[in-house]
């Protein structure tokens, strides 16, 4: 199981947590959260979506992490992109619109408006692809905050023990 | 009823900027995931919009429900306080209304809600609530600059690692929830629900 005490997931990896660390164990008290966070990551990157290739999703994810100042997650998504089967294929003509949407959503959620959705539609994305893109970017805001909080907790423990 | 600074604890509606899935045309998987997600999801434009990607919704709902409703650990009213502070900080009027109501139901008082609507930076009826509110703001506004100094006030009011992780999860998942609510549609003043 992905929550076994001797495994590390993407959040552990990005936060620098190893099996045996107190925080690695404390996360597993909420095993359902650990499992659903990793399963969300996997579904958001890999579920087939018309008009939204896995490589373009990884490009969006790396860009979001750059903007948000989350270098360990940025590295994770850049590494995944380098290994993606479709990484050598050209990106979608809609990628600039996707990156612009992702940037607004990441840096200030109150900038969201109907015009941003219409820009994605004009770039050729259907409703199902827009939902997938919004879920991915919104999830990243969650994931990078969990990682940042765990890193801050870890820093405090290293300072006192 | 509390109405301040554009926020309210009254019940609002939400309308989608996309075409929500029609329940009569939904696939068996979509209906199954809707029912896992929320008791009223088959009539909710928000859940019916997210149902365009049922497996993504399934895992989001599993995370959300485990974070906000699981027994033990951080008291649920305090998770709702974190959710409300994040929602006000992000300007999500719809999420704020829902989680202000949940806080009031669980805590059986509304003084903290008025304080959060006025200014989340100074909100909190107790030192513990103040520490929760300030942590929620820090995680929301500057995740790239969080440090041990942001954790210390939580330890000072007696929180364990497990409680801090519960709070971190609640605060972080509202970074997710707010962004969907604010970028796929908008709140509307409604009579229903």
pLDDT band (50, 70, 90) for residue B188: confident
Q: Residue A50 corresponds to which tokens in the numbers above?
A: 């018309």
For residues B110 and B104, is the Cβ–Cβ distance under 8 A? Answer: yes
Q: Does the beta carbon of A103 lie under 8 angstroms from any beta carbon of chain B?
A: no
> How many alpha carbons fall within 13 Å on the CB side of residue B49?
21
Q: A152 contacts in B (CB within 8 Å)? A: 146-148, 150-151
In the A/B pair of chains, how many CB contacts fall below 8 A? 168
Question: What are the residue ranges of helices labelled H in B70-160?
Answer: 76-89, 93-107, 111-118, 127-141, 148-156
Q: Does the beta carbon of A151 lie under 8 angstroms from any beta carbon of chain B?
A: yes
Q: What is the DSSP string of A14-55?
A: HHT--TTSHHHHHHGGGHHHHHHHHHHHHHHHHS--TT--HH
Chain centroid, CA B103 distance in Å: 11
ipTM score here? 0.96
pLDDT at A58: 98
Residues B145-168: tens digit of each pLDDT: 999 999 999 999 999 999 999 999
pLDDT above 50 for B38: yes
For residues B159 and B169, is the Cβ–Cβ distance under 8 A? Answer: no
Residues B82-112: tens digit of each pLDDT: 999 999 999 999 999 999 999 999 999 999 9
pTM of the shown model: 0.96
Residues B106-136: tens digit of each pLDDT: 999 999 999 999 999 999 999 999 999 999 9
Closest residue by Cα to residue B53 from B83, B76, B33: B33
Q: Residue A110 corresponds to which tokens in the numbers above?
A: 């109150």
pLDDT above 60 for B184: yes
Sequence-distant (≥ 6) Cβ neighbours of residue B119 within 8 angstroms: none
Residue A111 DSSP one-character state: G
Q: Residue A64 corresponds to which tokens in the numbers above?
A: 């979001």
pLDDT at A157: 82
* A44-82: burial string, b at 16+ Cβ within 10 Å, e else: bbebebebbbbbbbbbbbbbbbbbbebebbbebbeebbe
What gap in Å lies between CA B150 and CA A95, rounded to an integer? 37
pLDDT above 80 for B189: no
pLDDT above 90 for A21: yes
CB-CB: which of A22, A128, A159 is closest to B52? A128
Q: Which chain A residues in 18-77 lie under 8 Å from chain B, judged by CB atoms?
A: 22-23, 26-27, 29-30, 32-33, 35-37, 39-40, 43-44, 47, 49, 68-70
**For chain B, the helix, strand and coil percentages under 3-state DSSP, each to the nearest 5:** 65, 5, 30
Question: What are the residue ranges of helices labelled H in chain A?
Answer: 10-15, 22-27, 31-46, 54-68, 71-83, 95-107, 114-122, 127-160
The residue of chain B nearest to residue A66, with distances taken between CA atoms, is B144
Residues B17-26: tens digit of each pLDDT: 999 999 999 9
For residues A68 and A40, is the Cβ–Cβ distance under 8 A? Answer: no
């Amino acid at each position: 199981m992905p929550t076994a005490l001797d495994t590390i997931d993407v959040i552990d990896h990005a936060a620098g947590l190893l099996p045996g660390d107190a925080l690695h164990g404390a996360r597993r008290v909420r095993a359902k959260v650990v499992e659903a966070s990793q399963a969300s990551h996997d579904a958001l990157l890999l579920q087939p979506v018309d008009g939204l290739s896995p490589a373009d999703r990884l490009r969006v994810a790396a860009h979001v992490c750059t903007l948000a100042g989350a270098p360990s997650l940025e590295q994770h998504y850049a590494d995944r992109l380098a290994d993606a089967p479709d990484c050598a294929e050209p990106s979608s003509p809609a990628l600039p619109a996707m990156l612009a949407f992702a940037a607004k959503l990441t840096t200030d959620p109150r900038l969201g408006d109907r015009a941003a959705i219409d820009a994605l539609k004009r770039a050729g994305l259907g409703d199902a692809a827009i939902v997938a893109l919004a879920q991915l970017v919104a999830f990243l805001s969650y994931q990078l905050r969990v990682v940042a909080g765990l890193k801050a907790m870890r820093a405090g423990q290293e300072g006192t023990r | 009823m509390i109405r301040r600074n554009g926020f309210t604890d009254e019940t609002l509606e939400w309308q989608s900027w996309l075409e929500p899935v029609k329940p009569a045309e939904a696939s068996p998987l979509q209906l199954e995931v809707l029912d896992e997600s929320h008791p009223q999801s088959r009539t909710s434009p928000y859940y019916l919009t997210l149902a365009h990607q049922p497996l993504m919704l399934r895992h989001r709902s599993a995370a959300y429900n485990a974070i906000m409703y699981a027994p033990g650990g951080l008291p649920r009213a305090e998770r709702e306080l974190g959710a409300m502070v994040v929602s006000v900080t992000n300007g999500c009027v719809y999420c704020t209304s829902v989680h202000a109501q949940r806080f009031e139901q669980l805590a059986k008082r509304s003084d903290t809600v008025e304080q959060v609507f006025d200014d989340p930076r100074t909100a909190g009826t107790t030192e513990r609530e103040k520490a929760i509110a300030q942590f929620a703001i820090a995680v929301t506004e500057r995740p790239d600059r969080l440090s041990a100094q942001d954790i210390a006030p939580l330890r000072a009011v007696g929180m364990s690692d497990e409680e801090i992780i519960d709070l971190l999860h609640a605060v972080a998942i509202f970074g997710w929830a707010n962004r969907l609510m604010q970028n796929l549609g908008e709140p509307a003043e409604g009579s229903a629900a």
